[in-house]
Amino acid sequence: MNLLGDFTFSQSSLQDDVDCPRRFELRYLKRVRYPAPETQDMLEFEQLMQHGADFHRLIHQYILGIPTELLTPFADEAPLNLWWRHFLADGLRDVPDEKRLPEMTLIAPLGDYRLLAKYDLLAITPGERAVIMDWKTSRNLPKREWLAAKLQTRVYRYVLALAGDELNDGAAIPPDAIEMRYWYAEHNRVISFPYSEAQFAEDERYLLSLIAEIEERDIFPLTTDDRRCRFCTYRTLCGRGNEAGLLDEYETDFEITLADDFDIDLDQIAEIEF
């Protein structure tokens, strides 16, 4: 048995397992920290991540009701200014406004474990429909099929169907009332995924099979797609090269996403200890 009973899965950890079981093992089971660069263009990468985090915060603040004129000065630099303009124009178009819950975390049981989803925004009209919004700040617009296969698309809808009762006046949200929307800030484009009973059943089967596989694995094999290794910090440990790949290639082949880590350590502040 590879997992402790209190193990919590997330879309990031499951995606890691699907992309490369060895990466899942190193990162989530052995918790190995390995501080190699993700890409060669470290500064640019850092800035992209920072802009992404700033943008998410701005939307959070906007949804909490902080007046736009107080927020706009914080989006005065490129590319944030463009994203912000796009968001103000269309980011919430046709998004239910009865209940908007920014930065919401839901947890559902998955076999003997837990599955966590951290949503950018859940917008719900109780008894009618529920829209999952996910703000994407990557420069490239991915193909729909690529997104459809992502664990995020499966996990987010699945968890909402299982754990959304408390947001829907105590009743479970039926899968066909759920829609997942990726909104690409740079392009002001939505890529949307409805949900269904059949897809829910298929996701459950798939997710359970993933964890069963993880539980039983004796060895965690290295990925066969070694393009991934160029953007993975464990590359030297795995003997998969010594240098990080270029950011442009990263963005073409994969998608930069903000870390969706599941540590429940909310206490970031350094307090004086004894």
Partner 1 sequence: MPAKKSIRVTKAQQQIVKTPFDQTVFLEGAAGTGKTTVGTRRIRYMFEEKVAPDSILILVPQKALALPYYDELKRKKTAGSQVGVMTIGSLSQQMVDLFWPLVAEEAGFKHPMKRPHFLSLELVQYYMHKIIGPEIDRNGYFNSVTINRNRLFSQIVDNLNKASVVGIPYQEVGERLKSAWQGDETQKHVYDDAQRCMTRFREFCLENNLLDFSLQVHVFIDYLWPMEAPRHYLLNKFRHLIVDNSEEDNPVTHAMLGDWLPQCDSALIIYDTDAGYRRFLGADADDAYRLKAHCDTHAMLDRHFTMSDDMTAFAVEMAETLHHPLEGVKVKRKADALAAIEFPESIRYHPQMVDAVVERIAALIYDEGVPTSEIVVIAPFMSDALRFALMTRLEAYDVPARSHRPSRALREEPAALALMTLAKLAHPAWQMRPTTFDVAHALTTAISDLDMVRARLLVDVLYKKGQLAAFDNIRNAEIQQRITFELGERYDMLRQWIDEYQQEMSPQLDFFWSRLFGELLSRNGYGFHDDFDATRTAANLIDSARHFRQIIGSIDPDAPLAKDYVEMVQRGILADAYLDWQLEDTESVLLTPAYTFLMSNRAVDYQFWINVGSPGWATRLYQPLTHPYILSLQWEQGRKWGDEDELAANQDALYRLVLGLIRRCRERIYLGFSELGEQGYEQRGELLMAIQGMLRRRALEEA
Residues lying near ligand SF4 in the complex (CB under 6 A): 20, 22-23, 26, 222-223, 228-229, 232, 234-235, 238, 240
Q: Which is nearer to partner 1, 115 or 151 (CB)?
A: 115
Residue 74 contacts which entry, partner 1, ligand SF4, none (Cβ below 5-8 A, type-dependent): partner 1
Which tokens hold the place of 220? 């965690």
Residue 232 contacts which entry, ligand SF4, partner 1, none (Cβ below 5-8 A, type-dependent): ligand SF4
Distances (CA, A) of 248 to 49, 147, 251, 256: 14, 19, 5, 11
Residue pair 95/120 in contact (Cβ under 8 Å)? The answer is: no
Which tokens hold the place of 50? 């920072």
- Least distance CB 94 / partner 1 (angstroms): 25
- Least distance CB 46 / partner 1 (angstroms): 8
Q: Which is nearer to ligand SF4, 242 or 268 (CB)?
A: 242
Alpha-carbon gap, residue 171 to 177, rounded angstroms? 12
Residue 20 contacts which entry, partner 1, ligand SF4, none (Cβ below 5-8 A, type-dependent): ligand SF4
- Helix axis angle, 11-19 to 197-216, nearest 10°: 60
H/E stretch holding 183: strand 178-184
Residue 228 contacts which entry, partner 1, ligand SF4, none (Cβ below 5-8 A, type-dependent): ligand SF4
Buried-exposed string 223-262: b where 16+ CB fall within 10 A, e elsewhere = beeeebbbbbbbbeebebeeebbebeebbeebbbbbeeeb
* Contact footprint for partner 1 (CB under 8 A): 6, 8, 30-37, 42-43, 54, 57, 60-61, 64-66, 70-71, 73-74, 104-109, 112, 114, 116, 159, 162-163, 165-167, 170, 233, 235-237, 239, 242-244, 263-274
Residue pair 1/209 in contact (Cβ under 8 Å)? The answer is: no
Q: Which is nearer to ligand SF4, 22 or 150 (CB)?
A: 22
Residue 246 contacts which entry, partner 1, ligand SF4, none (Cβ below 5-8 A, type-dependent): none
